[in-house]
Amino acid sequence: MNSLTETEREALRERYRSERDKRLRPDGNEQYVQPKGRFADLLEDPYVEAVPREPVREEVTVALIGGGFAGLVTGARLKQAGISDVRIIDKAGDVGGVWYWNRYPGAMCDTAAMVYLPLLEETGTVPSMKYVKAPEIFAHARRIATTFGLYENALLSTGITSVTWNDDASRWIICTDRGDELRARFIAMGTGPLHRPKLPGIPGIDTFAGHTFHTARWDYDYTGGGPDGAPMEGLADKRVGIVGTGATAIQCIPHLAKTASELFVFQRTPSSIDVRNNQALEPDWYASLETGWQKKWLENFATLQTGGFADEDLVKDGWTDIAQRIRDRVLEVMASGARPGPDTVQRAYEESDDEKMNEIRSRVDEIVRDPAAAEALKPWYRQLCKRPCFSDEYLQAYNQPGAHLVDTDGRGVERIDETGVWAAEQHYDLDCLIFASGFEVGTEHSRRAGFEVVGRHGRTLTEHWSEGMLSMHGIHVHGFPNLFILGVAQGANLISNIPHNFVHAATAISAIVKHAEAEGSEQVEVTSDAEGAWVDLLDNGVGSFLANPDCTPGYYNNEGGPIGRRERLNGSGYPNGPVAYFDYLERWRSSGDFAGLAFRS
Ligand code: NDP
């Protein structure tokens, strides 16, 4: 293990600080705008035309709001628990959530399929590769819906307009843009943390006369090709620009570089690009796994990825790599006879991170032939300040003759006009401008979900959360009986494997619904005291590394803006980490007491 000298370390920190300072903006999250005007169709479904139908006015035991993995896994667990009367509602034309909407070329999951794809054993599925492409993930979502009968009664192409609690009837009233009025005993809301596309508020964005779209609604009619990676022949004679170099852009840029006549990548902050090393999964090896293997793999990945100890690393990838390095350093200290304290772990973390990021920067030099482009593609921040990326094609794309990196030294695109883009004090004429500018994070729940939730006494969820999220377990909210939130915040907050969070939440929710049914309880609600105690527990925890003020701005740290109590609560997780949370929730559920919840007849 190579460690930097103190002088080298301080020089590196100084470089990190100065690169961060270049990117701090007074407008923070406000720099982004909602899709309006010519971009309004960004919120529409281009894939499926809604089939006319009569409005539905029925009662259901559990309404699942959102047909992504959150809703699907919860639906599956409810069915397994014998609660058959469930109904998915989603504005998309099919289930799949982000894997329904995001069909850009190269879209795939950065988390290994063996742990990312939920319910593999239950659905008898064998992933094709270690990391699978978006169409295979979408197909898996559909398989879950088919296996567990979740297409039955599903209301797809149906946008919710309001969700209101009726206390006298102890029912949620769900109204939709198809004229439906459903009464639901329970609601599970899996509306997704990264779901509503956002655009940068660049002056002149409305004036561009060429073709333009966001990656979340890739326009294959214009580009040619398809989500399976077929070449985009429509771009062969086009000058294409793309704004953004986050996890999405990293995946689609290699495809654009291969097919566009000229490609201009407008970069504000480079991503860290670690090795992907994708491999086919051998069916024979897969068949040799023992029943119950996925639970073991999930636990192993979550443990190692969050700094825990395990005898072997089953997934073995970039997510677990840094944690293994930290662990090895701590073990080294222990081997010398010293007792590791928080300082040892902190030091091990910093050294491992410096080592990792130096490797990532060296890799850029090894791959990118143009030295100026290579220099500009090096990320100067700690690895988890921004979403880590993994690719064996992205950096290589800059060796293609028509692919140009336009580095803006942290300033971003300055202006857009009728004919193209102004960046780094130059004008770039473009036929097509693609926005890989991400999704809303940290804005009000109603804005991201597209509807408001009105609880007891007419109080909205937006009001209840105006000073930050309040919940117990990230699932139950006081004043909102019979409603379950399916997210990551205030629960495990395991961001490297989002569906894993849902697997545990869904198991707990199905147990609660079953218990309420058995007891004849009309209302289930977290008490105000229990919600307050949970929030205090989280707020007094060690705090998130992501709130680190030294980090370069991004959606992980409120775009570099102040991190007050509101931001802390919105991004908090169980203080002892995801594995401890899963263990806690399992004990809480299986005790049968459901402490903190009031069941009322
Ligand atoms: P991001 O929010 O991560 O990236 C937005 C990009 O737009 C950033 O590079 C940002 O730069 C850039 N940008 C914004 N404004 C400007 C401007 N004015 N000029 C130039 N550049 C600008 O969105 P993504 O869609 O890439 O990813 C969002 C998330 O989706 C990921 O973090 C990940 O969680 C998820 N995802 C998951 C995948 C998976 O494997 N499961 C695959 C793809 C995405 P800057 O960095 O400077 O802010």
State the distance from the centre of ligand 1 to the C-alpha of 258, rounded, in angstroms: 21
Point out the ligand 1 atom lying closest to the alpha carbon of residue 245.
9
C-alpha angle 108-112-117 in degrees, rounded to nearest 5? 80
Final residue before a domain boundary, out of 435, 464, 491:
435
Together in a domain, 338 and 365:
no
Token duo for residue 587: 């004990």
Residue 52 counted as domain residue = no
Which ligand 1 atom is the nearest neighbour of the CA of 559? 48
Same domain? For 26 and 88 the reply is: no
Helices within 520-564 (DSSP H only): 528-539
Is ligand 1 within 6 A of the CB of residue 116? no
Domain end among 435, 460, 488: 435
- The residue type of 463 is E
Q: What amino acid is encoded at 242 in this protein?
A: I
User: Could you tell me the distance, in angstroms and rounded to a whole number, from the CA of residue 555 to the centre of ligand 1?
Assistant: 9
Q: Has residue 166 been placed in a domain?
A: yes
Tokens 């063996």, located at residue: 114
Binding site membership of 436 for ligand 1 (Cβ less than 6 Å)? yes
Q: Decide: 110 in ligand 1 pocket, CB within 6 A.
A: yes
Q: Is the CB of 397 under 6 A from ligand 1?
A: no
Secondary structure class of 243 (helix, strand, coil): strand
In this prediction, the residues of the chain whose per-residue pLDDT falls under 70 are 1-2, 542-548
Confidence (pLDDT) at 177: 97
Q: At CA 149, angle to CA 80 and CA 76, rounded to 5?
A: 35
Q: How far apart are CA 375 and CA 275, in angstroms?
A: 18
Asked whether residue 428 falls in the same domain as residue 468, the answer is: no
Pocket mutation for ligand 1, best pick of 245, 391, 546 (most atoms within 8 Å of C-beta): 245
Q: What is the 3-state secondary structure (H, E, C) of 454-496?
A: ECHHHCEHHHHCCCCCCCECCCECCCCCCEEECCCCCCCCCCC
Residues 6 or more apart whose CB falls under 8 angstroms from that of 11 comprise none
Nearest 5°: CA angle at 559, between 554 and 564?
A: 125
The number of domains in the chain is 3
What spacing in Å lies between the alpha carbon of 248 and ligand 1's midpoint?
Answer: 6
d(CA 257, CA 232): 10
For the four alpha carbons of 554, 557, 563 and 566, in that order, the dihedral sign comes to: positive
166 CA → ligand 1 middle, Å: 40
pLDDT at 430: 98
Phi, psi for 240 (deg, rounded to 5): -115, 135
Q: What domain range is 75 assigned to?
A: 59-196+441-600
- Is the C-beta atom of 243 inside 6 A of ligand 1? yes
In this predicted model, what pLDDT tens digit does every residue of 365-403 receive, in sequence order?
999 999 999 999 999 999 889 999 999 999 999 999 999
376 and 461 share one domain: no
State whether 543 and 582 are in the same domain.
yes
> The tokens of 171 are what?
């029912």
Query: What confidence tens digit (pLDDT) does each residue in 239-278 have?
Result: 999 999 999 999 999 999 999 999 999 999 999 999 999 9
Ligand 1 pocket test: pick from 248, 271, 385 the residue with the most ligand atoms within 8 Å of its Cβ: 248
Q: Which atom of ligand 1 is nearest to the CA of 198?
A: 2
Q: What angle do CA 489, 490, 496 make, to 5 degrees?
A: 45
Pair (452, 549) in one structural domain: yes
- Between CA 548 and CA 560 the distance in angstroms is 9
Q: What is the DSSP letter of 108?
A: B
**Contact predicate 398/377, CB 8 Å:** yes
Residue 48 belongs to some domain of the structure: no
Give the C-alpha separation, 296 to 587, whole Å. 18
The residue whose CA is least distant from atom 32 of ligand 1 is: 387
pTM: 0.96
Q: Is 275 in the pocket of ligand 1 (CB under 6 A)?
A: no
Same domain, 394 and 537: no
DSSP class of residue 330 equals H
Beta bridge partners of residue 262, listed in sequence order: 239
Which amino acid, residue 458?
A: G
Rounded distance, CA 191 to CA 354, Å? 36
Is the distance from CB of 318 to CB of 309 less than 8 angstroms? no
Report the DSSP pairing between strands 483-485 and 59-65: unpaired
Answer whether 441's CB lies under 8 Å from 219's CB. Answer: no
CA of 168 to the centre of ligand 1 (A): 45
Q: Is 115 in the pocket of ligand 1 (CB under 6 A)?
A: no
Our measurement of the distance from residue 575's CA atom to the centroid of its chain's CA atoms, rounded to an integer in Å, reads 20
- Asked if residues 514 and 81 have their Cβ atoms less than 8 Å apart, the reply is yes
My answer on whether 378 and 306 are in the same domain is no
List the residue whose alpha carbon is closest to atom 5 of ligand 1: 437
In angstroms, what is the span from residue 309 Cα to ligand 1's centroid? 32
1 in a domain, yes or no? no
Tell me, yes or no, whether 54 lies in a domain: no
pLDDT of residue 543: 55
* Residue linked to tokens 């009464």: 183
Which ligand 1 atom is the nearest neighbour of the CA of 268? 47
Full DSSP string of 205-226: GGG--SEEEEGGG--HHHH-S-
Phi-psi domain of 490 (left: phi exceeds 0; alpha: psi -120 through 50; beta: other) = left
Residue 49 resides in a domain: no
User: How close is the Cα of 519 to the center of ligand 1, in Å?
Assistant: 47
Residues 33 and 115 in one domain: no
Residue 226 C-alpha to ligand 1 middle, in angstroms? 22
Q: Is 194 in the pocket of ligand 1 (CB under 6 A)?
A: yes
Q: Is the CB of 77 under 6 A from ligand 1?
A: no
At 427, is the secondary structure helix, strand, or coil?
Answer: strand
Q: Which of 461, 473, 456 is nearest to 600 (CA)?
A: 456
Ligand 1 within 6 A of 117 CB? no
Name the residue with the closest Cα to ligand 1, atom 24: 438
Ligand 1 mutation pick, 25, 108, 194, max ligand atoms within 8 A of CB: 194
Q: At what angle do helices 318-335 and 342-367 cross, to 10 degrees?
A: 130
Q: Are residues 297 and 230 in the same domain?
A: no
Q: Is residue 51 part of a domain?
A: no
The residue nearest atom 17 of ligand 1, judged by CA position, is 412
Among 387, 433, 557, 559, which residue has the most ligand 1 atoms within 8 Å of its CB, making it the best to mutate? 387
- Of the candidates 107, 419, 387, which has an alpha carbon nearest to the alpha carbon of residue 246? 387
Q: Is the CB of 200 under 6 A from ligand 1?
A: yes
Amino acid sitting at position 373:
A
Token pair of 600 as six digits? 């009322």
With a 6 Å cutoff on the Cβ, whether 441 touches ligand 1 is: no
- Whichever domain contains 249, its CATH number is 3.50.50.60
* 123 exposure class (CB count in 10 Å sphere: 0-12, 13-18, 19+): middle
The residue type of 87 is: R
Task: Judge contact between 68 and 190, C-beta under 8 A.
Answer: yes
Please say which residue of 435, 459, 483 terminates a domain: 435
Do 90 and 156 form a contact (C-beta atoms < 8 A)?
yes
pLDDT at position 29 is: 87
Q: Is the C-beta atom of 266 inside 6 A of ligand 1?
A: yes
Say if CB 574 and CB 584 are below 8 A apart: yes
Ligand 1 nearest atom to the CA of residue 215, by list position: 25
How confident is the prediction for the chain on average, in pLDDT?
94
Q: Is 8 helix (H, G, I), strand (E, B) or coil?
A: helix
Q: How far apart are CA 211 and CA 434, in angstroms?
A: 8
What is the distance in A from the centroid of ligand 1 to the CA of 347?
30
